[in-house]
Amino acid sequence: MNLEGKVVIITGASSGIGEATAMKLAQNKAKVVLMARREDRLNELKEKIESNGGHALVVTGDVTKKTDFENVVSQAKDHFGTINALVNNAGLMPLSFIMKLKTDEWDKMVDVNIKGVLNGVAAVLPTLTENKGGHIINISSTAAYKYFPGGAVYCATKAAVKMFSEGLRQELAPQYGINVTSIEPGAVSTELTDTITDEDIKEKMSDMQEMTTLEAEDIANAIYYALTQPHRVNINDVYIMPSEQQ
Ligand code: NDP
């Protein structure tokens, strides 16, 4: 896809990978639609993008609410005319050991990490179908393949995203011209661990801080690569890890 003038919705654009992706795509002339709940952070990003000559639209919303997604789609179309791609990036990782039974946190992960992705796909598909093509990028994780302590539920949500992406690709790419990519990052330095409440996990996390992790921009580059291939090339998976991660 030649990104110039293309309209891309990015969920979870208020920090980390989503924010870096919005910057990268806007620098390459895409019109970006920024979705997340923190309006102040989205507005700051919009200003940054616009001061570099880019185009951005802020639409606050919660990915777990279908109506919020419908609003994002309708505002994106009113403002920019259409939608060409969706980056389903919003996610949470409140890791905990199962025996702690933090079931509210399990629910949140299922709601945001899985249902949020499904809601995004459902909201954009009619427009992408109308356009006879487009691209959906889902942010999974290396956690889809590999359990790590406290990650039983998180890993399960990311495995679901990975397999959903494969089903989506098989159903959409050949018949509807909509390419689908699953990105599977290892450890990236972002705010993702801020939601962890389990003290045992927090302690383990601080042990891991010696490692040089990926930067959010590294994942933005992978997303840019997947999006900008010629239409005949579907990048199914990008599995990307810090050199020091095992
Ligand atoms: P951040 O915490 O920096 O970003 C998460 C984003 O998700 C925020 O912008 C947050 O915005 C948004 N978000 C959370 N809940 C909702 C919601 N209900 N509705 C809308 N937006 C929501 O973490 P990352 O950038 O690291 O995470 C981005 C994605 O990358 C996630 O899916 C994560 O699982 C995945 N990932 C991250 C890795 C890492 O090591 N960092 C590794 C592998 C995958 P707000 O709070 O404003 O709504």
pLDDT of the residue at 59: 98
Query: Coil, strand or helix: which one is 45?
Result: helix
Pocket test for ligand 1, best of 89, 108, 118, 223 (most atoms within 8 A of CB): 89
What CA–CA distance (Å, rounded) separates 238 from 228?
14
pLDDT at 208: 67
CATH number at residue 179: 3.40.50.720
Task: Tell the residue nearest (CA) to atom 33 of ligand 1.
Answer: 91
Domain count, the chain: 1
- Residues with a CB atom less than 6 Å from ligand 1: 11-12, 14-18, 36-38, 62-64, 89-93, 112, 139, 141, 185, 187-188, 190-192, 216
Pocket test for ligand 1, best of 65, 95, 191, 192 (most atoms within 8 A of CB): 192
Domain assignment of residue 203, yes or no: yes
Q: Could you tell me the residue range of the domain that residue 145 belongs to?
A: 7-239
DSSP string for 169-203: HHHHHHHH-EEEEEEEE--EESSGGGG---HHHHH
The alpha carbon torsion through 218, 222, 224, 226 (nearest 10 deg) reads: 180
| Cβ atoms < 10 Å from Cβ of 54 | 19
Cα–chain center distance at 170: 20
Identify the pLDDT of residue 205.
Answer: 78
Nearest CA to ligand 1 atom 10: 12
**Ligand 1 probe mutation, 92, 104, 145, most atoms within 8 A of CB:** 92
Nearest ligand 1 atom to alpha carbon 193: 2
Residue 137 lies in a domain: yes
Cα-based angle 94, 96, 98 (whole degrees, multiple of 5): 135
Position 29 in a domain: yes
Is 146 within the bounds of a domain?
yes
Q: Among all residues, which ones are annotated catalytic?
A: 154
**Domain assignment present for 217:** yes
Query: Quick one: which atom of ligand 1 is closest to the CA of 183?
Result: 44
The whole-number mean pLDDT for each consecutive block of 10 residues of the chain, a chain of 246 residues, reads: 96 98 98 98 98 98 98 98 98 97 98 98 98 98 96 98 98 98 97 94 78 96 98 98 94
Protein residue whose Cα sits closest to atom 31 of ligand 1: 91
DSSP letters spanning 66-89: HHHHHHHHHHHHHHHS---EEEE-
Distance 29 CA to ligand 1 centre (A): 24
Whether 244 is covered by a domain: the verdict is no
- pLDDT score, position 207: 66
Centre of ligand 1 from the C-alpha of residue 55, in Å: 22
* Nearest ligand 1 atom to alpha carbon 112: 18
Distance from Cα 175 to the centre of ligand 1, integer Å = 31
Between CA 216 and CA 195 the distance in angstroms is 18
On whether residue 246 sits in a domain, the answer given is: no
The answer to whether position 20 is within a domain reads yes
What's the confidence (pLDDT) of residue 206?
A: 73
- The DSSP secondary structure of 222-243, one letter per residue, reads HHHHHHTS-TT----EEEE--T
pTM, rounded to two decimals: 0.98
